[in-house]
Chains A and B, each alone.
Chain A
Amino acid sequence: MAAEESYPDDLRYHPEHDWARIEGDVATLGITWYAQDALGEIVHYEPPDEGSSLAKDESYGEVESVKAVSDVISPLTGEVVGVNAKVVEEPETINDDPYGEGWLVRIRLTDSAEVDDLLDVAAYRKLVEEQ
């Protein structure tokens, strides 16, 4: 079943509807409830390779619904240290649990100061309401 609309307080957000959970110099990345809802049922996730570099504001992968393809934008710069194999196998996990089991990649941050550029939940909620 698709998740209810939510935007957790402990995450940081990118205006392209991506989230980051920061734990030390590692960040877990995914797409927000709003992004998965706009796409509909997600049927394919094209992940980056482990060890590859992600650049802030640049596309690092693709999520696809039956009808549409969407680039996934990295909110931060870093090196991929983990790819969520469950989501590759069962892409609908992103719809079911976008902030939990539906995470996309883990990266080791190149520049932790970039985190300050991201939106907090209040700012992101405001952005979603204006869409």
Chain B
Amino acid sequence: MQTLRRTPLFERHAALGARLVPFAGWEMPVQYTGIGEEHRAVRTRAGVFDVSHMGQLLLAGEGAREYLQARLTNDLDRIDDGHAQYTLLTNEEGGIVDDLIAYRRGGDDYLLVVNASNVAADHAALPETEDVSDRWALLAVQGPEALELLGIDVEPFTFRENSDVLGVRCLVAGTGYTGERGCELGCAPEDAGRLWDAVLDRGVVPCGLGARDTLRLEVCYPLHGNDISPERTPIEAGLGWACALEKDFTGAEVLRRQKDEGPDQKLVAFVMDDPGIPRTGMPIEEGGEVTSGTLSPLLGKGIGLGFVDAAHAAPETPITIDLRGRPRRARIVPKPFYKREET
């Protein structure tokens, strides 16, 4: 029995009455008052998530850029210092070891923020990096009013360090996992409680991993371990846009070939036409299986992501999902289910 790890905010979650569940080896809040309520807070106002379980890998020094360029799918030269990039770590077969955000601090200085469940695998694939996960607490403040409530501004996919947020020294990044404007705030673990309290004082609603999952699913951000995995490639998953196939990186040759020939299966988004909620692992008659599913708080319908044979992957194609023995009709739709209004 592995002991679950706790973030610096564990006591605060417990005091708020959060329901705490095991997630990727951590004891994390899945909800405070209710997933639907927290979901709507982020879509309409602002919510804060403790994402201190996420991992951080650091690589600085001569050759850092070259090292990462040979191992990450996206092209780091596409971004400037102070900018961040969604990228993938792939294996020799082109399978996705992890998806992550690379923060470019300098030409040869990068911070990688990775999934909690994959820190060990990432570090094994990138042994030159330093695992600095213990040095960071991370809060995601998300929603149309998030930045205004914090009194800060940050452009999407940019970041700055040593920036004062509500009296706490933070890394401020214009990133997130909800499809809304907002930021992620990295700080020292010992400052996390103070930052959390100050954010709540501004009227930001505490949100758990349950709402984080429904929010990310509505905008079709893949979840590693569900929608993407070492057995699935970025081409199958529709993440070719994050792969600079003109450069060489681990598995690039496989991906170039797969892109030319077309993948056998594709990750698609679908809406239920029949009643019922699709769940991870349910078979899809037209090929693969559901990789993520929920009731969309926005649409009030079952939605999901799943793999289907490429011949059935076009929008509006009807598919049939086996909901615990009951065949139920669904329909493929363009990604995403939800897109925030540009302001």
Contact residues of A with B, CB < 8 Å? Answer: 40-41, 43-44, 46, 62, 64-67, 69
Interface residue tally for chain B (C-beta within 8 Å): 19
B65: interface (CB < 8 Å)? no
Contact residues of B with A, CB < 8 Å? Answer: 19, 30-31, 34-36, 210, 213-214, 275-277, 279, 294-295, 297, 302, 324, 326
**In the assembled complex, how far is the CB of residue B229 from the closest CB belonging to chain A, in whole angstroms?**
21
**In the assembled complex, how far is the CB of residue A30 from the closest CB belonging to chain B, in whole angstroms?**
20
Contacts A62-B324, A66-B294, A67-B35; A40 near B276 (Cβ below 8 A): no
In the complex, how many residue pairs between chain A and chain B have their CB atoms under 8 Å apart? 37
Which residue of chain B has its CB nearest to the CB of A66? B35
Whether A43 pairs with B31 at a CB distance below 8 angstroms is no
Whether A67 pairs with B30 at a CB distance below 8 angstroms is yes
9 pairs of A and B residues whose beta carbons are closest in the complex: A66-B35, A43-B295, A41-B34, A44-B277, A64-B277, A41-B36, A67-B210, A66-B295, A66-B294
Whether B275 pairs with A40 at a CB distance below 8 angstroms is no
8 A–B pairs (Cβ distance < 8 Å), ordered by A? A43-B295, A46-B276, A64-B295, A66-B35, A66-B294, A67-B35, A67-B213, A69-B279
Complex: A65 Cα to B39 Cα, angstroms: 14
By a CB distance below 8 angstroms, the chain A residues around B294 are 66-67
Whether A44 pairs with B295 at a CB distance below 8 angstroms is yes
Complex: A62 Cα to B276 Cα, angstroms: 10
Whether A40 pairs with B35 at a CB distance below 8 angstroms is yes
Which residue of chain B has its CB nearest to the CB of A65? B35
Which residue of chain A has its CB nearest to the CB of B294? A66
